[in-house]
Amino acid sequence: MKKIVSILTLSSIIGTGCVLVGFYYLKNNVFNGLILVGLCILLGLAVKIMDQLIDEIKDRSYRMWIIPLAIFIPASMAYLALTEEPVVGMVIGTAIGLLIAGKLDHPMYLVSVILFVILIFIAFVLHIIDIEVTAFYIIPVAAMGSFLDEFGHDKWKSDKITKFVFKHRFFLKAFAFIGFILGFVHLVHLIGFLCFDIFYDIVDTAWQNDIIGEKFMSNVSKGRLNECTGNV
């Protein structure tokens, strides 16, 4: 348990450190990319933690963190969208895919999406951001990748290979790479997306191994614990 808590703490420190260094050297393009990478790391942790708080954890003392996370996530994404234009298409497209797949099934998910859209709309009206046509090209691609991964994760679990593919969001990764090859997104955006995905999986792995669950998540349903540990 202590090992995983240390990993999660270290991940948060890495993400925060990247953001702080990026802001310190804000005028340097190389270090500026650290802001995107750092925020993507923190977002990966935050999104998965929010998922678990909503879906699995029943203890109110922990569920109270849903609200600040529901604010932090869209606010961070909005900042990235203001500084890295392709993020607009990536976020909106992914949200559309999740909505079609029925994954935005909690009010706080919708609050986060609506807050993101409002912030982007305000920035657009105030001419803080100009959205290029290429950003709209990304939306259907991200939506398709997001939908296929979520749909497959729920419906196609016939063997270990397909389960592994959908668990680790193969389609969204593939479409992100295609977007990079076609020039819709830059290398730093692809790296940021992969960092988000990797650290999202770190939290997911910690949960599935039930390492931090016993002490901090004692009110999780017994059925979920059996599923994660492979017990009957």
Residue-wise pLDDT for 32-63, tens only, equals 789 999 999 999 999 988 888 887 777 777 77
Q: Dihedral sign, CA of 164, 168, 173, 175? A: positive
Output phi, psi for 179, to 5 deg: -60, -35
The Cα–Cα gap between 133 and 97 comes to: 20
What is the domain extent for residue 105? 2-229
Q: Which pTM does this prediction carry?
A: 0.82
Least confident piece of the model among 12-21, 41-50, 166-175: 166-175
Two tokens, residue 15: 């993400």
Q: How many domains does the chain have?
A: 1
Share of the chain above pLDDT 90, in %: 22
pLDDT band of residue 21 (cuts 50, 70, 90) is very high
Output phi, psi for 101, to 5 deg: -75, -5
Average pLDDT over residues 204-224: 57
Two tokens, residue 103: 């994954």
